[in-house]
A and B are shown apart, each in its own frame.
Chain A
Amino acid sequence: MATWQLVQYVVTGITVGSIYAIVGLGFTIIYSVTGIINFAQGEFVMLGGMTAFSLIGLGLPIPVALMLAVVLVTLVGVVFNLTAIRPAGRASSITLIIITIGGALFIRAVAGLYWGRDAVALPPFSSGASLSFLGAYIRPQSLWVIGITLVLMVVVYLLLNRTLVGKALKAAAINRRAAALVGIDARMMSLVSFALAAATGAIGGIVIAPISYASYDMGVMLGLKGFVAAAMGGLTGVWGVFLGGLGLGLAESLAAGYISSSYKDAIALIFLFAVLLIRSRRLVAGEEAAA
C-alpha cells in the first residue's frame, strides 16, 4: 500500500469530515439551546448549495451570491422557527423533533419542485491546479473547506462562550424561568439558535457544492452524517462535533479506499448505531440518577 494513497485518503477524509462537522455544528447549536434535534438541518445545507447555485445563475458576482445565499437560508431558519417551532409552545422534545422531520420533508419537496431532480455544481472558490503533497493531490477547494470549517468553529465557539448572547443562549437552556427573570426571552434564544444553525448549515452546503455537487435531496445523507458527527461529539460542544466530524470523515474515506467505496455510507450508519447505543444508555443512566 503506497504512502501517497494513504495521504490521499486522509486528505479526502479531513475534507469530507470538515463538512460533516459543519453540518453537525448546526445540530449541536440547536440541541444545546433548545433540546431539539433538528432533522431539518440537512435541508439548510441543501438550501445553501442550491440557493447559491441559483444566485450565481442570475449573474451575481460569486462572493455576493454566496453571502446572499447564507443570508437567505438564515431567514428560512428564522421563518421555520417562527412558523413550525414557536406555535408548538412548550411541547415535548419528541413532538418538536417530529415537527422538524415534517419541516425537512416539506422543504425537500418544495426544493425538488423548484430546482428539479438534477444535481448541479458550483464553481470552485479559486481556480488553479491541484497541489501535490507527498504524492497525493489536494484540490484547492479542499483547502477552502478545511479553512472555512476551522474559522467557523472558532467563530461559533467564541460566540457561544465569550459573548453575552452566548451566555444567554446557555442560560435559557439551563433554566428557562431563571433566564426570564434576568430578562432573557427563551423563545428569542430558540430563534437565534435556529438562525445560527441555518447560517452554518448554508455555509456547509456552499463549500461542499463545488466538490460533490448539490441537489434537492443532498440534505438527507448529509443531515444524517452531520447528526452522527454531532452525537459523537456529545451534542453540546463545538470541538466535540469537530472531532466527531473528522473521525467520521476519516473512517469513511479509509474504508472506501481500503475496503470498497460501497461501504462508505455503511460506515456512517455503523457509527450512528454505535452512538445511539452508547448515548441512549447514558440517557437512561441520567434519568435514573435524576429519579
Chain B
Amino acid sequence: MILSVDHVSVAYGKLNAVWDVSLGVGRGEIVTLIGANGAGKTTLLNAIVGLLPVKSGAVYLGERNITGRKAHKLVQLGIGYVAEGRGMFGSMSVLDNLILGAYAQHRGWTSQLGDAAWLLRREEFKRRIEHVYQLFPRLTTRESQKAGSLSGGEQQMLAIGRALMTAPKLLLLDEPSLGLAPTVAKEIFGLLNRLRGEGMAILLVEQDAVSSLKIADRGYVMEMGRIVFEGTAKHLISNDKVRQAYLGQVWRSTSETPAQEGRNQV
C-alpha cells in the first residue's frame, strides 16, 4: 500500500468529524471515497495531508508513519492534493502556478534565488512541465494568462497539473468534477485513468458516486464520519444498500441497469 490510514479519528475541538477510519490505496490504483455532504470525506483528506491534526490512529505513506506532519513537509514526501475549490494563485500566471508546484523539490539556495527562467531550463523540471502540458494541452496556450482568468475546467486542470508538478506518488482529489461541464468532467476522469496507468496511487473523493465508482478499482462509503461500506467498485455498484442510499437517483437516469431499476425505487 502507498497510503494506509489506520483507525484514524479527526475532531474539530471536541466534535469528532471522522471516527476510526481505516483505508488503503495501492500503487496504480484508484480508490474512491463517496458519501453525502458532511460525511467527513474532506475532513479525512485534510487530515491525511496534514492540514488538520489527527486525533487518534495513524497515517502511513509506504512504511513511513506520517501522522502529525505538516502539509508543506508532506509534499516533499510525495503527496499531491487537489483541494476542493482548487486553490489557485489567481493573480499569478498559469506558468508561475506550475513553477510553484515544483517548489518543494527546489529548496536549495541556488534554486530559490535563481531566475525562474533558469529553473525552466533544468532537465527534470522541463520533463515534468512537458508531461503536464501533454496531459492538458489547453494549458500550453494559456501559459502566460492569469490563473484567475481561466474557466472552471481549466482551473481544475491547472490545479491537477500543479499537484503533478510536486511529483507525487499519491494523489488525493477532492470533488474534481464539481461544477464542471460533463464533457470536462469526463476529460478529468480520463486523465485519472491515465495516471493510474503510470502507477500513481489515487484517492478520489466525489459526490458524483456513479462516475467515480465507474472509474475506481475500489471504494469506501462514508456516513456520519464512519466507513459503512467498502469493497471493489463493482461490488459497491451492485450492492443494494449503497445503490439505494447513494446511487439511486443518478443510476435510474442511466440505461446501464434496466433490469434492477425497479428495485431501488421507493
Contact = CB atoms under 8 A, between A and B. Distances in A.
B92 A183 contact: no
A163 B83 contact: no
A110 interface: no
A203 B87 CA distance: 37
Contacts of A184: 72, 100, 103
Nearest to A186: B72
Contacts of B193: none
A182 B103 contact: yes
Contacts of B71: 177, 180-181
Nearest to A174: B89
B91 A182 contact: no
A185 B116 contact: no
Nearest to B107: A183
Interface in B86-116: 87-92, 96, 99-101, 103-107, 111-116
Contacts of A177: 51, 71, 83, 87
B162 interface: yes
How many A residues touch the partner, as a band? Answer: 20 to 34
B129 to A, nearest CB: 14
Interface residues of B, number: 37
B70 A170 contact: no
Instruction: Provide the main secondary structure of the chain A interface.
Output: helix
B88 to A, nearest CB: 7
Contacts of B100: 164, 167-168, 171, 179, 182, 184
A163 B113 contact: yes
Instruction: Provide the main secondary structure of the chain B interface.
Output: helix
A168 to B, nearest CB: 6
Contact of A175 (B49, B87, B99, B101): B87
A185 B70 contact: yes
Contacts of B104: 182-183
Interface centre among B88, B90, B100, B104, by most chain A C-beta atoms within 10 angstroms, is B100
B72 A183 contact: yes
B81 interface: yes
A67 interface: no
15 contacts: A159-B113, A162-B117, A164-B106, A167-B96, A174-B90, A177-B51, A177-B87, A178-B87, A179-B89, A181-B71, A182-B100, A183-B72, A183-B73, A184-B72, A184-B103
Interface of A: 159, 162-165, 167-168, 170-171, 174-175, 177-185
Given A159-B113, A177-B51, 15 more contacts: A163-B113, A165-B112, A167-B100, A167-B116, A168-B112, A170-B89, A171-B92, A175-B89, A177-B83, A178-B87, A179-B72, A180-B75, A181-B72, A181-B83, A182-B165
